Structure formats: C-alpha cells, structure tokens
C-alpha cells in the first residue's frame, strides 16, 4: 500500500530535476501522473532547458514503477496549454487529486535596477505567473471534487533575499503570497494549498555554466548569500 494509491497527480516542469523526482516518487507511492514541460528553449535563458526526450524519460521511469503517465508539452506562460494538459489527463484518468506547481527557471542577473524588462517579465511570468496559471487550471476540478491538495514549489529564495537575482527572488516571494491566499480561499472545499521551499538542488537549474559562476568565485558567496 502506497500513500497515494489510486490518486492522480498533475506536475509541471516534470521532464527532469525536481519535477521528475516528484513524478517518480508519486508513482512509487501508487499514483498515476499527468506530467508537463515546455520541452524547448526560452528566449534569454542562458542554460539548456528540458527536451521532449527528457519528458519521455520521466514517463518511462513512472511506468517502470508500474504506474501510468500522461504527458503534455505545455508552457506555463500559456493558460490554454495548461488547461489542455489537465483535460488530457482527466480524459485518461477521470479524476485529479493533487497538483505540484513545480515549473520554474532561474537567471543570474545584474543589480535590480539593471535587469532588462525582458528578463524581469520572463522570470516572473514563469515562476510566479506559471504557478498562478497552474492553480487556475486545476483548482476548479479539486473544488468540484471537494478534496485534494496543491503544492507550490517555492524556494528558500521566497523566504530571504539573495543578491544577484532580484527577479527570481521577487517571484518566489510572490509564490508564497499566492499560496497563502489560495489556501484561505480553497479550504472550505476541503482542498489544501501548501508550499515547499528547497535550497540549492542538484539539478540543471544550478548545474550549468551560469550557475557555476556562484561557486567558482568563493569570494563572492558571502555577499550573495548572507542576506
């Protein structure tokens, strides 16, 4: 018996990293999953994002655990693509029990007043806007069902300041505010909304040439990380 036997979990950003770990863990606990990822580059982001092959690998890992996976290429900046992914999963499984709003990206930027309009919009629209749209796409089904759970993947960056990526820190703080208000508004329908705030995770969001800049220059770390 698993903790999630018979349940269905919807996960964004599931092609690799944390999202893949969420999907495989849910499968090990008995859940079927609906997994999405953008599977393409995003303009201005200086490290490689996940591919369709990565998403297919997550599906294979879920199926190796004896569970089913429905996959969809979806951009969390696009409400219609998220709505379509949810509909695809509902057609296959007939229910939805839990949501993990995991999709995100990161940018090591200049000082706050030097961030370009494009990079501000890109990072905040994926990290915060994507969480909002994921909730918007899934919450009505949980409300109708009168039960379920939403988990927003925030960050330690949602709890404290970190010099060097103001747009990301601002968006993650916003995720916590969104989570708190959603929790208040959805509780009457027997649905929970919580957040997890990880620190640095061994995933491609950090393990790339841009992320390595933080760790190959140790003299910079006290300034960046001590706020």
Q: For residue 180, give both structure tokens.
A: 């708190």
Report the greatest alpha carbon distance in the chain.
54
Q: 123: helix, coil or strand? A: helix
Residue 165 annotated as catalytic: no
Active-site residue, selected from the candidate residues 47, 165, 168, 189:
168
Nearest CA to 69 among 33, 27, 25? 33
**Cα–Cα distance for residue pair 167/112, rounded to 1 Å:** 8
Q: Which residue has the tokens 């900046």?
A: 77
**Secondary structure element (H or E) that encloses residue 210, with its range:** helix 209-216
Burial status of residue 33 (CB atoms within 10 A of its CB: 0-12, 13-18, 19 or more):
buried
Sheet holding 98-101, edge to edge: 69-73, 32-37, 8-11, 98-101, 148-153, 191-196
Task: Tell me which residues are annotated as active site.
Answer: 168
């Amino acid at each position: 018996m698993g903790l999630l036997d018979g349940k269905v979990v919807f996960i964004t950003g599931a092609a690799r990293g944390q999202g893949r770990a969420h999907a495989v863990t849910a499968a090990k606990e008995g859940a079927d999953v609906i997994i999405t990822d953008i599977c393409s580059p995003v303009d201005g982001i200086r490290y490689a994002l996940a591919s369709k092959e990565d998403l297919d690998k997550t599906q294979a890992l879920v199926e190796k655990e004896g569970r089913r996976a429905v996959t969809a290429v979806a951009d969390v900046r696009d409400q219609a693509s998220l709505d379509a992914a949810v509909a695809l999963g509902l057609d296959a499984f007939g229910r939805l029990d839990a949501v993990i709003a995991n999709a995100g990206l990161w940018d090591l930027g200049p000082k706050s007043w030097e961030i370009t309009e494009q990079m501000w919009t890109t990072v905040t629209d994926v990290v915060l806007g994507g969480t909002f749209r994921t909730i918007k796409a899934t919450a009505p089904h949980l409300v109708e069902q009168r039960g379920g759970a939403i988990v927003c993947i925030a960050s330690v960056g949602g709890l404290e300041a970190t010099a060097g990526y103001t747009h990301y820190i601002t968006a993650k703080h916003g995720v916590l505010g969104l989570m708190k208000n959603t929790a208040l508004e959805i509780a009457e329908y027997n649905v929970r909304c919580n957040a997890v705030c990880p620190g640095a995770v061994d995933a491609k969001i950090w393990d790339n040439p841009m992320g390595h800049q933080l760790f190959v220059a140790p003299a910079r770390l006290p300034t960046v990380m001590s706020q």
